[in-house]
Structures are given as structure tokens and as C-alpha cells.
Amino acid sequence: MPSTSFARRAWRIIAIQLLILLGGIFLYKVYLPHRAHEMAAQAAALREEKIVVLFHDSVVEDSTHEISVPLEGVIVKRHPQKLSTVFSPREAESTLGVPDATTLDFRGGQHLTWLGTGHKLAASFNAGRLYCLSLEDRATGHGVLVYESIYSWHPY
């Protein structure tokens, strides 16, 4: 009897260890990749939201002027936009995170680009001061360039 009792215990211990091993394999092969993908999607959605909010908080429409612009083959009247707030590259990076692309021009101007799931935001700085903000729809390629002056504004 003692030998069968010992055999049962050994098989029970082996079965428990196999269940723990299978649980660990399931965790690493199925759950963790799924969770990482889910968290990446949430981070991308949050970044897209931050891009749109920053653009709309930084731009104001001038309702006193109207400009004729082409929109999908038709000329329409639009109110021009201009920058309402001016921020530094450091402030932009603290709001949106590290930019996806950074370039410098020959005069020392800095151009930062952030990519979201649906939009691309490009900010141009001269001597650490924002002078141009561009928001482009990644699906259509259409967007708008907004400068400090309403007379430089134009959609594309």
C-alpha cells in the first residue's frame, strides 16, 4: 500500500507541475502578446487625441475675414486661421512626447513631426519660437498650414 500511495502522490505532483508549466506557456505565448498589442493600440489612440487637441488649442479662426479656397474641386469660402498660442519645442515634446521626425534647416530652424493614427502634426520653430503648425489627414493627404498671420494661412 505504501508504494501505491507514493506513486499516486508522484503522479499528482507531476500533474500539478505540468498544469503550472502549461499555464506559464499560455501566459507567455497568448496573453502577454495580446496585452502588449492592446496597450500599443491605446497609446496610439491617446497620441492621436493629443495631436488633435494641441492643434485645436493652438489655432483660432478669424471670423472677420473670408478666403476662397478650393475644396475637392469646388471653390468655397473659409475663415482663415492663425496661431493663438506660441510654444517652444520643449513644451511641444512634453505634451506630445518624443517626435517621430526632427530636422534642422540651414538657418537653425527646427521642424518636428508627430505621427498619429489618423493625422500628422508638423511644428516649425525659429529661434525656439513656433511660427508654423501643419495638420495633415494621413488618409487623404489634405491638411492645413497655420502661421502667425492670417494672410499666410492656406489649406492643401
Tell me: the pLDDT tens digits for 13-52? 888 999 999 888 888 888 888 888 999 889 889 999 999 9
| Grid cell of 109 as nine digits | 530652424
Query: Residue 136: enclosing H or E segment and its boundaries?
Result: strand 129-137
User: Where are the extended beta strands (E) located within 1-118?
Assistant: 59-61, 67-71, 74-78, 81-83, 101-104, 110-115
Task: Give the whole-angstrom CA distance, residue 149 versus residue 156.
Answer: 17
Is the pLDDT assigned to residue 152 strictly greater than 70? no
Dihedral sign for Cα 12, 13, 14, 20, please.
positive
How buried is residue 62: exposed, middle or buried, by Cβ count under 10 Å (0-12/13-18/19+)? middle
Task: Give the whole-angstrom CA distance, residue 144 versus residue 154.
Answer: 6
Grouping H, G, I as helix, E, B as strand and the rest as coil, residue 116 is: coil
At residue 143, the pLDDT reads 85
The pLDDT tens digits of the residues spanning 2-11 come to 567 777 888 8
At residue 151, the pLDDT reads 62
44-48, 85-89, 147-151, range with the lowest pLDDT: 147-151
